[in-house]
Amino acid sequence: MQLVVDVGNTETVIGLASGKRELAGHWRISSSVSRTIDEMTVLVRAFLSNNALGDSEITRGVVGSVVPTANRVWTKTLRRIVTGEVLVIDPQSDLPIELDVEEPMSVGADRIVNTLAARELYHRDTIVVDLGTATTFDCITTEGVFKGGAISPGLLTGIDWLASRTAKLPRVELAPPPAVIGRRTETCIQSGIFYQAIDSIDGMVQRLREEWDRPDAYVVATGGFSNIIGPHLARIDRIEPFLTLFGLAMAGEYLEG
């Protein structure tokens, strides 16, 4: 068993990986809440106890983080829980992928392991759309070469901006509206935010396919909002909410000392 941790700017996703594509459990916690190593250890052990697993069954910890200040707490927490090594994924990790971009050292751990997972799982040119705090688009070749992509504001950005910058517009839930034409302020906002996101993501995928000259590139949606947005996207071939956790598990096996 591996304990894999995907530390994002808004949420941290913890997974108990029993294989390259199998999770015995998964949990989400807020990344914005500051916790000590003791508090984090108690929290993670509470999650694991619900799965009737003891620490002795977890032999490795793997952390992929886009929040550098969280790395110390997570590495020390995992060292208290797992019986073996704790790995932190970064651009220098010895993985069977290539970062073919101008500044490879700036590529986030999430995009690195998404590249690895796409290479291992799909065996074809792939565009990974990661729907999290930001929406990222990653162009990945069959051989596992990360060619770059795009980063845009996340799906909650518009909701948060409207609620904070306007006097009378309420904050609404990100959910499919009952109709495109809203008849109340709340449904108007829901429709505008939701369908603007749908059309912009589909449009970006089409632009990436054309510029990359891969009209048949396989498109995978992942991340926290993939199950909400993914079914409504015309150019998505597969929804894989835990692609990043699978990639962390694969990285742990490749880097096994």
d(CA 100, CA 109): 15
Q: Which of 6, 38, 100, 110 is catalytic?
A: 110
Strand-strand pairing, 134-140 and 126-131: antiparallel
160 is catalytic: no
3-class secondary structure, 204: helix
Tokens 């510029």 map to which residue? Answer: 211
**Count of CB atoms within 10 A of residue 9's CB?**
14
Q: Are 37 and 137 in contact (CB under 8 A)?
A: no
d(CA 137, CA 212): 12
Q: What is the DSSP string of 41-108?
A: HHHHHHHHHHTT--GGG--EEEEEES-GGGHHHHHHHHHHH-SS-EEE--TTS--S-EE-SS-GGG--
d(CA 59, CA 72): 19
d(CA 91, CA 193): 34
Burial of 14 (0-12, 13-18, 19+ CB in 10 A): buried
- Which of 20, 81, 18 has its CA nearest to residue 49? 81
Q: Are 20 and 249 in contact (CB under 8 A)?
A: yes
Q: Which residues are catalytic?
A: 110
